[in-house]
Chains A and B, each alone.
Chain A
Amino acid sequence: MSKLSEKFENGLLLVAEKVDENKYLTSVKNTFTVFMPFIIVGSFAVLFKSLISSPTTGLAKWLPGAAKLAPAFTAINTATLGIMTIPIIFLIAMYLAKFNKVPEYISGIVAVAAYISVVPSVVTVTIDKATGTAAGVPTAALGAQGLFVGMILSILVVQLFTGLTKIKRLKINMPASVPAGIATSFNTLLPILITLTVTAVIGGLFFNATGSYLNEWVYKAMQAPLEVIFQSPAGIIAIVIISQLFWFLGIHGGLVISPIRNPLIAAAIAANIAAVSAGGVATQAVTYGFWLNFIVAGGAGMILSLIIAIFIFSKREDHRMMAKIGLFPSLFGISEPIVFGLPLVLNPTFAIPFIFNSAISCGIALFATKIGFMANNTVDTPFGTPVILGAFIGHAWQGVVVQIICITVCVFTWMPFVLISNKQVKAVAVKE
């Protein structure tokens, strides 16, 4: 391998290592891994609503009593996606506290309390055209719109809390006969008090100076623009290519980019569900379901397409053998057998399609949503849902059509490279 590509490889390897070692990014990554089932359950509640309690598309059409279940399904959605900022804050704080070696549960609660201390404690209500305020935390602060301010605040609060708990003078000295548990709870008393005072005062000052709450401001100034970039074709395609570059080196690309990607796909599905529940149209294309169905269908790099291309066009016994081993895992989105067995890792023959096919497929699916053929999804499926079925659950029959188009197009983008790999064998055989 040339010196330049070696440098490039080592550089990317180092980036992957740094991302993994960064305690903030790792806390965020672990948090979303833990929370992912709740996001999927929340989105499934929406599916049940339309299949069971909807009087137009569901069971309630024939069985009117089923409509009574609608509030229950809405409640599931509210309890998971609708308030997701709170558990996310709690989990990030806990993971970070683990790194910092300070009490985990207390840190989690401190972070949630600190967040509540900076968000509004009143909501604006309009009744009979008269506007007034009532006590309550606005849903915008609890749901996906609070994610970024919550994540940032959670990290800052745990760092502050950690610093304070390490100051000896803030510890309340207890006689040795006092049980350790009680001593811990007294020792955290002053750090908690100071932490919450700092956040509440800063939150209050911020509101007085700017007229908007901290969470509203961070959403407008940071989260909303990031969402726009992430949802734009250029943004998402750049992220997909970066992820594939890691895969090309044999590093799990999805894992490396997940600290950035996962908060944004969580916000996207929540926004879609909120829009549809309010009678509107889902506007966010790139969700977890979209990622699984149209970016990594059959495994990152559109591996199912490669397997099909090998079955149709390849005469190489070693490749056909590998395609047989890789087919079944690939139907469930697992690409590793092909990636390492063929191999695709650091294989210059297949580098171009391996790095760019997911981006091409992503572009096709974005186009399909842009022209209105495929609706944005409100139901996410978990990793491991087989191809076609996953597309159908998330994006209906139109999703299946688009997924088949994506896989087919990528069969043809893999094809020339499969043919080249066949010629290479012949060339070697002739030389010998």
Chain B
Amino acid sequence: MRIMLACALGMSTSLVVSKMIEAAKAQGKDDYKIWAVDESEVKLQLGEFDVLLLGPQVRHIQRKIKKIVGEDFPMDIIESVSYGTCNGAAVLKQAENLLGVK
């Protein structure tokens, strides 16, 4: 499963990414690929990810990103409290739910 996160510069989101990788490892999901990019790079990464999560601080660009991503890949805004508390497991769960993975 390939999970990509996007925010303003990919900086604060990378904090969440490291926690998500930890959570995935702890759950024995070693084949997960999780990374963060600047929102302007989403277009270049099309096809590289299975699910896209946006940082809540760029939620105003949701519609624009939705247009780029289209219907093929699920996307969502990261639930803001799990984002703020860097709750890797919760964000990971959110991504899995989007893809219908259990």
Q: Which A residues are closer than 8 A to B by beta carbons?
A: 13, 16-17, 20-21, 30, 250-252, 254-256, 322, 325, 329, 334, 336-343, 345, 383-384
Q: A17-B61, A21-B64, A30-B40 are in contact. Are A341 and B12 (CB under 8 A)?
A: no
Q: Which one of B24-32, B80-88, B94-102 is at the interface?
A: B80-88
Q: Does more than half of chain A's interface fall in helix, strand or loop, or is it mixed?
A: helix
Q: A322-B85, A325-B86, A334-B12 are in contact. Are A339 and B64 (CB under 8 A)?
A: no
- The reply to whether B85 and A337 form a contact with Cβ atoms under 8 Å apart is yes
Q: A322-B85, A341-B85, A343-B84 are in contact. Are A336 and B64 (CB under 8 A)?
A: no
- The reply to whether A336 and B57 form a contact with Cβ atoms under 8 Å apart is yes
Complex Cα gap A16–B11 (Å): 20
What is the 8 Å Cβ interface bit string for chain B, positions 50-69, against chain A (1 contact, 0 not)?
A: 00000111111101100000
- The reply to whether B81 and A250 form a contact with Cβ atoms under 8 Å apart is no
- The reply to whether A250 and B15 form a contact with Cβ atoms under 8 Å apart is no
Q: List 6 A-B contacts (CB under 8 A).
A: A252-B8, A255-B58, A322-B85, A334-B12, A336-B15, A341-B84
CB closest residue in chain A, given B57: A252
Contacts of B63 in A (CB 8 A): 17
Complex Cα gap A254–B57 (Å): 11
CB closest residue in chain A, given B60: A16
Q: A17-B60, A251-B60, A252-B57 are in contact. Are A334 and B84 (CB under 8 A)?
A: no
The winner among A16, A250, A336, A341 for most chain B CB atoms within 10 A is A336
CB closest residue in chain A, given B9: A383
Q: A341-B83, A341-B86, A343-B81 are in contact. Are A336 and B12 (CB under 8 A)?
A: yes
Complex Cα gap A340–B89 (Å): 17
**Besides the known contacts A13-B59, A341-B86, 4 further A-B residue pairs in the complex with CB atoms under 8 A apart:** A251-B60, A337-B15, A337-B85, A384-B11
Contacts of A256 in B (CB 8 A): 60
CB closest residue in chain B, given A345: B80
- The reply to whether B80 and A250 form a contact with Cβ atoms under 8 Å apart is yes
Contacts of A252 in B (CB 8 A): 7-8, 57-58
Q: What's the nearest-Cβ distance from chain B to residue A147, in Å?
A: 22
Complex Cα gap A339–B84 (Å): 7
Q: What's the nearest-Cβ distance from chain B to residue A16, in Å?
A: 4
- The reply to whether A20 and B81 form a contact with Cβ atoms under 8 Å apart is no
- The reply to whether B84 and A322 form a contact with Cβ atoms under 8 Å apart is yes
Q: What's the nearest-Cβ distance from chain A to residue B5, in Å?
A: 12
Contacts of B12 in A (CB 8 A): 329, 334, 336-337
What is the 8 Å Cβ interface bit string for chain B, positions 3-43, against chain A (1 contact, 0 not)?
A: 00001110110010000000000000000000000001000
CB closest residue in chain B, given A326: B84
Contacts of A20 in B (CB 8 A): 60-61, 64
- The reply to whether A340 and B81 form a contact with Cβ atoms under 8 Å apart is yes
CB closest residue in chain B, given A333: B11
Complex Cα gap A231–B55 (Å): 32
Contacts of B85 in A (CB 8 A): 322, 325, 337, 341
Complex Cα gap A345–B55 (Å): 13
CB closest residue in chain A, given B15: A329
Contacts of A343 in B (CB 8 A): 80-81, 84
CB closest residue in chain A, given B58: A252
Complex Cα gap A160–B63 (Å): 29
CB closest residue in chain A, given B84: A341
- The reply to whether A340 and B80 form a contact with Cβ atoms under 8 Å apart is yes
- The reply to whether B15 and A341 form a contact with Cβ atoms under 8 Å apart is no
